[in-house]
Amino acid sequence: MMQPITRFSYRKEEMRMALTTSPRGTADIYGENLLAWLKLERLIREICRSFGYQEVRTPLFEHTELFQRGIGEATDIVEKEMYTFTDRGGRSITLRPEGTAPVVRAFLEHKMDQGPLPAKLFYLGPMFRYERPQAGRYRQFHQFGLEVLGSADPLLDVETIVLPLELYKRCGLKGFVVELNSIGCPSCRPHYREQLKEYVRPHLGQMCPSCQSRFDRNPLRLLDCKNEACRKVLADAPVITEYLCEECAEHFTQVKSYLGLLGVDYVLNPKLVRGFDYYTRTVFEVTYAGLGAQNAIGAGGRYDGLVEEVGGNPTPAVGFAVGVERLLLALADEGAFAAEQPRPDAFIVQFGGETKIKAAQLLYDLRRAGLHAEMDHLGRSVRAQMKAADRLGARWVLILGEDELAAGKVKMRNMDRGTEELVDLTQVKQHISVREE
Ligand code: AMP
């Protein structure tokens, strides 16, 4: 018979879990996986440099009001997903769920709006959303994002699409699709919103509860509901791009023609809307089919009203955010982007006693010269030290026995070539470095 779970044993199990597992929706990044992250981060910085973007590191938490105003009260993120708490000083604080509102805040706080414009900024770091964790969806995840503030040039909408595409391509990713739409501006969108509501109203009863509650507050979000019944209702809904005002239509035409000029393939998706209230005109999303339900590997758009919403002068802006975990999942799916394990330049094998002391000196000599040098710290036999060196993939094994020591020399075995030579202790660094060049 199964033992009933006592309160005591349940508590104990809970405590064991709390001590030995990270919170739901979070992950440790380490080992081989970390190498891929570092490689990706290097590539991001390289590409940002050539496109003229400067890094900005904003705090991991902000005043809650920034997100309420910036993202929009009626969005899922603000209503359901923020990590909000009152700090010991009684202030309402929120762990950042996205990077755009903090960058806009920093842009205004540090008077970047006074030029030179456009300000071109990028960020890379963790975001926090209380979502239901599943493959590709976490509660702490990372975004690489870019923001261009201070220009309405449609060529910059295109720049914020092309830059992440450059990243995807340079990582070796192939099967991604760019979806593009324009959701107009505060002068043309309200008219479309009414037309959409008119169309949906008679069918509202057949739609999912979340669409029913969004109908009045945020009807555009009905367009991207994944529910089958809702999709059926919306199949023949009016299309926003047919309701754009002249300026928005012209802007969209220019975005498309610049994309054509630069040879960027894209698919028009008139049902593409985004989860933030701040977008105007161009919105885009990059999807990778191999990821299943969470298939967006990046998304962005123009947000000409946000700077003013946060308290600045009217300032047009556009940006994009890449989901780092999802990009790495997509790359793993294609078997691309494996990071190489770093190999020690040298592993010193010693025989204990005096030879260990000399080995320690040599170890630090090499490290101070910028080489990656290792030795044993587990009191292993010489044979086991050789094995350890091999497992680490050391390029050179330096064997420091009593005889070698007495002669002021070390036996250097080149692990790639399988050759061995006796080298003066003072020449080891040079010997390794020459080979490196
Ligand atoms: P968003 O800020 O919602 O526009 O998202 C931009 C990108 O961040 C998405 O396309 C995803 O790649 C990624 N992303 C958003 N939410 C999550 C999450 N909960 N877990 C992992 N990645 C996410």
User: Which ligand 1 atom is at minimum distance from the Cα of 133?
Assistant: 19
pLDDT at 436 over 50: no
* Average pLDDT of the residues in 241-258: 97
User: Which ligand 1 atom is at minimum distance from the Cα of 300?
Assistant: 4
Distance 129 CA to ligand 1 centre (A): 9
Among 54-58, 122-126, 145-149, 184-188, name the one with the lowest average pLDDT: 184-188
Q: At what angle are helices 64-71 and 100-109 packed, to 10 degrees?
A: 110
pLDDT at 435 over 70: no
Cβ-defined contacts of 190-198 (< 8 Å, 24+): 191/243, 192/238, 192/240, 192/243, 193/219, 193/220, 195/238, 195/243, 196/220, 196/222, 196/223, 196/237, 196/238
Helix (H, G, I), strand (E, B) or coil at 184: coil
Q: What is the pLDDT of residue 353?
A: 94
Q: Candidates 103, 141, 324: which one to mutate for ligand 1, based on the most atoms within 8 Å of Cβ?
A: 141
**What amino acid is encoded at 411 in this protein?**
K
User: What is the C-alpha to C-alpha distance for residues 413 and 100, in angstroms, rounded to an integer?
Assistant: 54
Q: Whole-number mean pLDDT of the chain?
A: 93
The predicted-structure confidence for 408-433, as pLDDT tens digits, reads as follows: 999 999 999 999 999 999 999 999 98
Residue nearest to atom 11 of ligand 1 (CA): 323
Distance 327 CA to ligand 1 centre (A): 10
Distance 300 CA to ligand 1 centre (A): 10
Q: What is the pLDDT of residue 2?
A: 52
Where are the chain's structural domains?
A: 28-188+244-334, 346-436
Beta strand pairing call for 280-288 and 119-128: unpaired
User: What is the C-alpha to C-alpha distance for residues 293 and 84, in angstroms, rounded to an integer?
Assistant: 27
Residue nearest to atom 20 of ligand 1 (CA): 137
Among 55-59, 337-341, 391-395, name the one with the lowest average pLDDT: 337-341
The upper half-sphere exposure of residue 330, i.e. CA atoms within 13 Å in the direction of its Cβ, equals: 30
User: What is the C-alpha to C-alpha distance for residues 230 and 222, in angstroms, rounded to an integer?
Assistant: 8
pLDDT at 33 over 60: yes
> For ligand 1, which residues put their CB under 6 angstroms from it?
98, 129, 131, 136-138, 141, 143, 275, 296-299, 321, 323, 325-326
User: Which ligand 1 atom is at minimum distance from the Cα of 274?
Assistant: 4
Beta strand pairing call for 396-400 and 346-350: parallel
Distance 181 CA to ligand 1 centre (A): 18
Q: Please report which confidence band the pLDDT of residue 11 belongs to, taking 50, 70 and 90 as the band edges.
A: confident
* Domain 28-188+244-334 CATH class label: alpha beta
Q: What architecture (CATH level 2) is domain 346-436? A: 3-Layer(aba) Sandwich (3.40)
Distance 252 CA to ligand 1 centre (A): 25
The predicted-structure confidence for 152-169, as pLDDT tens digits, reads as follows: 999 999 999 999 999 999
Q: If you search the block for the tokens 């080979």, which residue do you land on?
A: 435
pLDDT at 437 over 50: no
Residue nearest to atom 4 of ligand 1 (CA): 299
Among 268-282, 312-326, 386-400, name the one with the lowest average pLDDT: 268-282
Task: At 383, list the tokens.
Answer: 């044979």
Give which of 73, 78, 147 is closest to 108, Cα–Cα. 147
Contact 255, 282 (CB under 8 A): yes
User: Which ligand 1 atom is at minimum distance from the Cα of 97?
Assistant: 2
Q: Please report which confidence band the pLDDT of residue 278 belongs to, taking 50, 70 and 90 as the band edges.
A: confident
Count other C-beta atoms under 10 Å from residue 316's C-beta.
21
pTM above 0.85, yes or no: yes
Distance 357 CA to ligand 1 centre (A): 53
User: What is the C-alpha to C-alpha distance for residues 388 and 375, in angstroms, rounded to an integer?
Assistant: 9
* Average pLDDT of the residues in 27-38: 95
User: Which ligand 1 atom is at minimum distance from the Cα of 100?
Assistant: 2
User: Which ligand 1 atom is at minimum distance from the Cα of 131?
Assistant: 19
Q: What is the pLDDT of residue 394?
A: 98
Among 100-109, 227-236, 410-419, name the one with the lowest average pLDDT: 227-236
Task: At 266, list the tokens.
Answer: 């894209």
The predicted-structure confidence for 336-388, as pLDDT tens digits, reads as follows: 998 888 999 999 999 999 999 999 999 999 999 999 999 999 999 999 999 99
Q: What is the pLDDT of residue 292?
A: 86
Q: Please report which confidence band the pLDDT of residue 7 belongs to, taking 50, 70 and 90 as the band edges.
A: low
Q: Please report which confidence band the pLDDT of residue 3 belongs to, taking 50, 70 and 90 as the band edges.
A: low
Residue nearest to atom 16 of ligand 1 (CA): 137
